Amino acid sequence: MSEYINNRQKRKEILKNIIRQLHEGRTVDEVKAEFAAFLRDVGPTEIAEIEQALIDEGLPEMEIKRLCDVHVAVFRESLETQQKPETIPGHPIHTFRAENQAAAVVLDRLQKAIEALLEDPTNPVRLDEARQRLAEMREYEKHYRRKELFLFPYLERKGFSGPSTVMWAIHDDIRGWWKALAALLEAGPGEDVEDFRERVKSIFWPMATAIREMFYKEENILFPTSLQLLTEEDWRAIRAQEAEVGYAYVQPEEVLAAPAPAPTPAPAEVAPPPEARALVSVMLHLDTGTLSPEEVNLILNTLPVEVTYVDENDTVRYFNKPRERTFLRPPAVIGRKVQKCHPPASLHRVQRILDEFRAGKRDVAEFWIQMNGRFIHIRYFPLRDEQGRYRGTLEVVQDVTEIRALQGERRLLDEEPIIR
């Protein structure tokens, strides 16, 4: 056993050294020539493990992102010989793979539309076709969102946070290209047709390459690793949450069975009637009153604001579920580090707010954005106990569109009577 452990550790160190050499400037061909025999049987989980290990040792995640395509190039021949685990219809990985197959077709159609447009940029029919195909491509956003909101949190619980952060950063690159290309196509070629051509090419080709490379990384690294690490219970939990985001181009079959219902209690253990339960239920004695947990839940979910609580260790502990929601908060977010709930590009801003709250340098941070024609007000407040110790952060999100439009005054007595 000790020999196996030593060999496994030695193998891991060699793989880490290979990636370090790539980051130091050696080419793919140079590395493959030196380590050809060793690279033949490298599996997807090993690649994810060594990237995570290098991140844990201090290699910045964005440095991994910068050369992740190079990493794949080195291991590509080995990955293509690996047998891909089969999954049943309805399984999240089966759905992800079906979406990739459909998205590849959509991307090919978009490419043909772009190539036709580049031949005749002033043709309104070709311009409209390119716009429609790009809109179709952007439906694939649901695929990325489900990865970020559901798959990544479960991988992080298994100790794999680095690879998910790198992929999320690439998703954001692709989103940026989508947005830029949409704006360019909407504006049209204008008077400088050649400049329009060059700008379209400068956006489309890196975007298409990144999407296709992500297909490969998912199929050959992310999905096999996820199938190896996550349990059947994990997959059922992911499947139960997916519909909140939706699917791109496909609808999964309802094959994954729901968890077995709890056994019916024996007659001697039948629960007491509601009146009796009310007498024995736990009551919360608050500063200004006493409430039951059920009442607290009802109150928080009735508030016209979205509330999220992050504890002093930066872990998401709670969110309410008001009737109208601006931002999706799936159950998978509970227990996740708040830093992992934000795009990598904005992480430094989130961390700065938390650090200033923790140090007592700030008592509120607020932002407002316009989204889908609505005006959204976002505020963060530090929670501090009676001794002034930092106990976490509260995020409050409110759609204030109608509030901003109010004028004059309306008193309680002016309320129109309810007609029954």
Q: 283-295 pLDDT, tens per residue?
A: 899 999 999 999 9
**Structure tokens, 163:** 């690879």
Q: What are phi and psi of 215, to 5 degrees?
A: -50, -50
CB atoms within 10 A of CB 275: 7
Confidence check: pLDDT of 268 > 50: no
Q: For the whole model, what pTM was predicted?
A: 0.68
Q: Which residues pair with 318 in a beta bridge?
A: 309
Taking CB atoms within 8 Å and a gap of at least 24, the contacts of 315-319 are: 316/341, 317/392
What is the per-residue DSSP string for 137-176? Answer: HGGGHHHHHHIIIIIHHHHHHTT--HHHHHHHHHHHHHHH
Cα angle value 411/414/418 (rounded, 5°): 125
Burial 1-31 (b: 16+ CB within 10 A, else e): eeeeeeeeeeeeeebbebbebbeeeeebeeb
Measured N-to-C along each axis, helices 68-79 and 44-56 cross at an angle, to the nearest 10 degrees, of 150
Residue 58 — left, alpha, or beta (φ > 0 → left; ψ -120 to 50 → alpha)? Answer: left
How high is the pLDDT of residue 279? Answer: 44
Domain locations along the chain? 2-79, 92-244, 293-405
Confidence check: pLDDT of 120 > 50: yes
Confidence check: pLDDT of 108 > 80: yes
SS3 assignment, position 366: strand
Strands 306-311 and 316-319 come out as antiparallel
Q: Taking residues 172-176, what's their average pLDDT? A: 95
As a whole number of angstroms, the distance between CA 103 and CA 87 comes to: 19
Confidence check: pLDDT of 267 > 60: no
As a whole number of angstroms, the distance between CA 245 and CA 405 comes to: 31
Q: Taking residues 65-86, what's their average pLDDT? A: 55
Superfamily name with CATH number, domain 293-405: PAS domain (3.30.450.20)
More confident residue, 3 or 88: 88
Q: Which residues pair with 375 in a beta bridge?
A: 370
How high is the pLDDT of residue 278? Answer: 46
Confidence check: pLDDT of 140 > 90: yes
Pick the CATH number of 92-244 from 1.10.357.10, 3.40.50.720, 3.40.50.970, 1.20.120.520: 1.20.120.520
How high is the pLDDT of residue 263? Answer: 43
Confidence check: pLDDT of 118 > 70: yes
How high is the pLDDT of residue 165? Answer: 80
What is the per-residue DSSP string for 38-58? Answer: HHTT--HHHHHHHHHHHHHTT
Confidence check: pLDDT of 317 > 70: yes
Are 53 and 15 spatial neighbours (Cβ–Cβ below 8 Å)?
no
How high is the pLDDT of residue 379? Answer: 96
Q: Taking residues 25-47, what's their average pLDDT? A: 57
As a whole number of angstroms, the distance between CA 277 and CA 275 comes to: 6
Quick one: pLDDT band at residue 2, thresholds 50, 70, 90?
very low
**Considering only CA atoms, which of 176, 157, 211, 179 is closest in space to residue 340?**
157
As a whole number of angstroms, the distance between CA 30 and CA 236 comes to: 44
Quick one: pLDDT band at residue 159, thresholds 50, 70, 90?
confident
Residues 6+ apart with CB under 8 A from 171: 144, 147, 148, 214
